[in-house]
Amino acid sequence: MTTDSHPGRALLPLFLLCVHATVVLASVGGGHDRGGLPFPLPVTPFDEGYTQIFGDDNLVVHRDGRTVHLTLDERTGSGFASQDLYLHGFFSASIKLPSDYSAGVVVAFYMSNGDVYEKNHDEIDFEFLGNIRGKQWRIQTNVYGNGSTNVGREERFGLWFDPSEDFHQYSILWTESNIIFYVDGVPIREVERTESMGSQFPSKPMTVYVTIWDGSDWATNGGKYKVNYKYAPYVAEFSDLILHGYAVNPVDHFANCDNAPARELVPTGISRRERAKMESLRKKHMTYSYCYDRTRYKMPPPECMIHPEEAGHLQVFDPVTFGKNRHRRPKHRYRSGNATSM
């Protein structure tokens, strides 16, 4: 594949670089090497890259060291986090979600620095929202920058497969200029850094988090359907965990050259072919975008581009479903590689 067919690909911009570390141009050919990755990258074993943050024995690491089960039951949810903070990179997990009745259950794969910057944190979210029996899970993506929680940039998608039957790969590419969400190697959303967004684009080092928890007050139809522990335990399975970015020191935020990634190929943008797939998928499966939510915003946020066809499609869905209900995650603290739930 030539560079001309991938006009958006270039050097991954990481402005806290080690002097001799380089990330080079991607050339994505046919085929996915790891069940949905658009390019091959090394898997990070759990004990080398992650730390449990809450849940006690509700987190189980398999013997292979690369597969993790997280459980939600009447006692607690569970979760883990990367041992390092990262500034930009590619982060990915293969996930199999709980089956049957899953209303109120939230499985999250996200990046945040809320424990370091409590008043001006950044965040990039993949959230998986459970549903009643006969209804499928949904994906919600979101982006916060510099504590801009008053501007929720959620987009929600119906799934085109059953995520409880098998593993599917969910990935986040975060660069200095854009954020891309992938499902099975196909981009579903791109957030570009624009002048209008200003400091609201995530720009500070973040930790990667993976959790399962009770979101009864908002996750399914605005809290109409709660977690039913008759169907517990709810088990989410994770494998093929990838941390491909520059780890930074949590104190001075300089890159750790000893942990610099290998010269692996990664993209920084979306090719024409990928963009066509993304646009088609969004037309078919996107059910909510903050840009069209007039209940929340009298005027769309300045970075929004309004498309009449897209607006017409989204009118059939109720934006109040989560527009008036702010969600909360389990609070935790992350310090020097150790985390405890609160």
Could you give the residue numbers annotated as active site? 123, 127
d(C-alpha 193, C-alpha 199), whole Å: 9
d(C-alpha 213, C-alpha 158), whole Å: 20
d(C-alpha 244, C-alpha 262), whole Å: 9
Instruction: Return the C-alpha torsion angle 59, 229, 236, 288, nearest 10.
Output: -130
3-state secondary structure the chain: CCHHHCCCCCCCCCCCCCCCCCCEECCCCCCCCCCCCCCCCCCCCHHHHEEEEECHHHEEECCCCCCEEEEECCCCCEEEEECCEEEEEEEEEEEECCCCCCCCEEEEEEEECCCCCCCCCCEEEEEEECCCCCCCCEEEEEEECCCCCCCCCCEEEECCCCCCCCCEEEEEEECCCEEEEEECCEEEEEEECCCCCHHHCCCCCEEEEEEEEECCCCCCHHHCCCCCHHHCCEEEEEEEEEEEEEEECCCCCCECHHHCCCCCEECCCCCHHHHHHHHHHHHHHEEEEHHHCCCCCCCCCCCCCCCHHHHHHHCCCCCHHHHCCCCCCCCEEEECCEEEEC
d(C-alpha 264, C-alpha 180), whole Å: 18
